[in-house]
Amino acid sequence: MKIVLYAALVLFVLLLLGARIGLLEGQRPDDLGVDAGRFKPPSPTPNSVSSQAGLYPEHPQRGYAAIAPLPLHGKDAVRAMQLLAEVLLATPGVTLVERRTDYLRAEARTRWLRFVDDLEFWFDPASGAIELRSASRLGRKDFGVNRKRIEAVRAAYLAKLAAL
Protein backbone atom coordinates (compact mmCIF):
# COMPACT_ATOMS: atom_id res chain seq x y z
CA MET A 1 0.00 0.00 0.00
CA LYS A 2 2.86 2.38 0.84
CA ILE A 3 4.48 1.71 -2.54
CA VAL A 4 1.29 2.65 -4.37
CA LEU A 5 1.03 5.84 -2.31
CA TYR A 6 4.65 6.79 -3.02
CA ALA A 7 4.24 6.02 -6.71
CA ALA A 8 1.11 8.19 -6.88
CA LEU A 9 2.92 11.01 -5.08
CA VAL A 10 5.91 10.78 -7.43
CA LEU A 11 3.61 10.81 -10.48
CA PHE A 12 1.76 13.84 -9.12
CA VAL A 13 5.01 15.74 -8.49
CA LEU A 14 6.28 14.84 -11.98
CA LEU A 15 3.01 16.05 -13.49
CA LEU A 16 3.29 19.38 -11.67
CA LEU A 17 6.94 19.78 -12.66
CA GLY A 18 6.13 18.95 -16.27
CA ALA A 19 3.33 21.50 -16.24
CA ARG A 20 5.61 24.17 -14.82
CA ILE A 21 8.17 23.73 -17.60
CA GLY A 22 5.48 23.91 -20.28
CA LEU A 23 4.93 20.29 -21.25
CA LEU A 24 1.13 20.71 -21.05
CA GLU A 25 0.88 23.97 -23.02
CA GLY A 26 0.54 22.36 -26.42
CA GLN A 27 1.57 23.97 -29.69
CA ARG A 28 0.20 27.33 -30.76
CA PRO A 29 -2.00 26.63 -33.79
CA ASP A 30 -0.75 28.23 -36.99
CA ASP A 31 -4.23 28.54 -38.50
CA LEU A 32 -5.79 31.03 -36.08
CA GLY A 33 -7.23 34.28 -37.33
CA VAL A 34 -9.99 35.23 -39.73
CA ASP A 35 -10.07 33.90 -43.27
CA ALA A 36 -12.85 35.09 -45.61
CA GLY A 37 -14.89 36.29 -42.62
CA ARG A 38 -14.57 33.04 -40.68
CA PHE A 39 -12.64 31.59 -37.79
CA LYS A 40 -11.49 28.02 -38.15
CA PRO A 41 -14.23 25.50 -37.23
CA PRO A 42 -14.79 24.45 -33.62
CA SER A 43 -12.63 21.63 -32.32
CA PRO A 44 -13.75 18.12 -33.33
CA THR A 45 -14.07 17.24 -29.64
CA PRO A 46 -16.07 19.04 -26.90
CA ASN A 47 -13.41 21.54 -25.85
CA SER A 48 -14.22 24.76 -27.71
CA VAL A 49 -16.88 27.42 -28.22
CA SER A 50 -17.48 29.58 -31.28
CA SER A 51 -20.05 32.19 -32.20
CA GLN A 52 -19.56 30.99 -35.77
CA ALA A 53 -20.34 27.33 -35.09
CA GLY A 54 -23.51 27.71 -37.16
CA LEU A 55 -21.37 28.34 -40.25
CA TYR A 56 -20.39 24.67 -40.07
CA PRO A 57 -23.76 22.83 -40.11
CA GLU A 58 -22.26 19.35 -40.54
CA HIS A 59 -19.71 19.80 -37.75
CA PRO A 60 -20.06 17.13 -35.01
CA GLN A 61 -19.60 19.68 -32.18
CA ARG A 62 -21.72 22.48 -33.68
CA GLY A 63 -24.36 22.28 -30.94
CA TYR A 64 -21.86 22.00 -28.10
CA ALA A 65 -19.68 24.83 -29.42
CA ALA A 66 -22.41 27.36 -30.28
CA ILE A 67 -22.26 30.57 -28.25
CA ALA A 68 -23.57 34.08 -28.91
CA PRO A 69 -21.25 36.82 -30.21
CA LEU A 70 -20.60 39.94 -28.15
CA PRO A 71 -22.74 42.98 -28.89
CA LEU A 72 -21.16 46.11 -30.26
CA HIS A 73 -20.95 49.34 -28.30
CA GLY A 74 -23.18 51.61 -30.37
CA LYS A 75 -21.58 51.83 -33.77
CA ASP A 76 -18.03 52.32 -32.51
CA ALA A 77 -16.22 49.05 -33.20
CA VAL A 78 -12.81 50.46 -32.29
CA ARG A 79 -14.02 51.53 -28.82
CA ALA A 80 -15.75 48.18 -28.29
CA MET A 81 -12.54 46.31 -29.10
CA GLN A 82 -10.63 48.62 -26.72
CA LEU A 83 -13.07 47.79 -23.92
CA LEU A 84 -12.76 44.10 -24.69
CA ALA A 85 -8.96 44.34 -24.61
CA GLU A 86 -9.20 46.01 -21.18
CA VAL A 87 -11.35 43.13 -19.95
CA LEU A 88 -8.92 40.52 -21.28
CA LEU A 89 -5.92 42.31 -19.75
CA ALA A 90 -7.70 42.33 -16.37
CA THR A 91 -8.66 38.64 -16.52
CA PRO A 92 -6.38 36.44 -14.39
CA GLY A 93 -4.39 33.92 -16.42
CA VAL A 94 -5.11 35.65 -19.75
CA THR A 95 -2.36 37.21 -21.87
CA LEU A 96 -3.18 39.38 -24.87
CA VAL A 97 -0.99 38.08 -27.71
CA GLU A 98 -2.22 40.02 -30.74
CA ARG A 99 -4.12 43.28 -30.88
CA ARG A 100 -5.51 45.02 -33.95
CA THR A 101 -8.40 47.45 -34.25
CA ASP A 102 -10.74 44.66 -35.41
CA TYR A 103 -9.10 41.51 -33.95
CA LEU A 104 -7.82 40.31 -30.58
CA ARG A 105 -6.06 37.05 -29.81
CA ALA A 106 -5.29 35.93 -26.29
CA GLU A 107 -3.99 32.88 -24.47
CA ALA A 108 -5.49 31.67 -21.21
CA ARG A 109 -3.42 29.45 -18.90
CA THR A 110 -4.84 27.38 -16.09
CA ARG A 111 -3.24 28.05 -12.76
CA TRP A 112 -1.77 24.70 -11.74
CA LEU A 113 -1.30 22.57 -14.83
CA ARG A 114 -0.72 25.52 -17.20
CA PHE A 115 -2.99 24.17 -19.97
CA VAL A 116 -3.42 26.81 -22.69
CA ASP A 117 -6.63 27.84 -24.44
CA ASP A 118 -6.60 30.13 -27.47
CA LEU A 119 -9.17 32.98 -27.51
CA GLU A 120 -10.04 35.03 -30.59
CA PHE A 121 -12.35 38.01 -31.01
CA TRP A 122 -13.12 39.72 -34.31
CA PHE A 123 -15.41 42.59 -35.15
CA ASP A 124 -17.52 41.43 -38.10
CA PRO A 125 -18.81 44.49 -39.99
CA ALA A 126 -21.41 42.34 -41.76
CA SER A 127 -23.09 41.20 -38.52
CA GLY A 128 -22.22 44.30 -36.50
CA ALA A 129 -21.08 42.08 -33.62
CA ILE A 130 -17.85 40.76 -32.12
CA GLU A 131 -17.49 37.15 -33.18
CA LEU A 132 -15.50 34.90 -30.87
CA ARG A 133 -13.81 31.54 -30.60
CA SER A 134 -12.11 29.84 -27.66
CA ALA A 135 -10.50 26.40 -27.83
CA SER A 136 -8.27 24.17 -25.76
CA ARG A 137 -4.96 23.17 -27.31
CA LEU A 138 -4.79 19.80 -25.60
CA GLY A 139 -7.27 17.22 -24.42
CA ARG A 140 -10.61 15.95 -25.63
CA LYS A 141 -12.86 17.68 -23.09
CA ASP A 142 -12.64 20.97 -21.29
CA PHE A 143 -15.51 20.39 -18.83
CA GLY A 144 -17.06 23.71 -19.89
CA VAL A 145 -14.02 25.82 -19.03
CA ASN A 146 -13.96 27.72 -22.34
CA ARG A 147 -17.67 28.54 -22.13
CA LYS A 148 -17.38 29.69 -18.50
CA ARG A 149 -14.39 31.89 -19.30
CA ILE A 150 -16.10 33.47 -22.31
CA GLU A 151 -19.27 34.10 -20.28
CA ALA A 152 -17.15 35.77 -17.58
CA VAL A 153 -15.49 37.93 -20.26
CA ARG A 154 -18.95 38.72 -21.65
CA ALA A 155 -20.22 39.78 -18.20
CA ALA A 156 -17.21 42.05 -17.58
CA TYR A 157 -17.47 43.53 -21.09
CA LEU A 158 -21.21 44.22 -20.71
CA ALA A 159 -20.54 45.83 -17.31
CA LYS A 160 -18.02 48.16 -18.96
CA LEU A 161 -20.57 48.99 -21.66
CA ALA A 162 -23.22 49.74 -19.05
CA ALA A 163 -20.83 52.05 -17.19
CA LEU A 164 -20.36 54.29 -20.24
For residue 17, is pLDDT > 60?
no
Which pTM value belongs to this model?
Answer: 0.86
Q: Bigger pLDDT: 4 or 149? A: 149
Query: DSSP per residue over the chain, as a string?
Result: -HHHHHHHHHHHHHHHHHHHTTTTS-PPPSS-S-BTTBPPPPPSSSSEEETTGGG-TT-TTHHHHB-PPEEPSTT-HHHHHHHHHHHHHHSTTEEEEEE-SSEEEEEEE-TTT--EEEEEEEEETTTTEEEEEEEESS-S--TTHHHHHHHHHHHHHHHHHHH-
For residue 58, is pLDDT > 60?
yes
Give the pLDDT mean for 33-46.
96
| Per-residue pLDDT band at 43 (split at 50, 70, 90) | very high
- 93-149 confidence digits (pLDDT tens): 999 999 999 999 999 998 766 689 999 999 999 999 999 999 999 888 989 999 999
Ordered by start, the domain boundaries in the chain are: 25-163
Q: What is the CATH number of domain 25-163?
A: 3.30.310.80
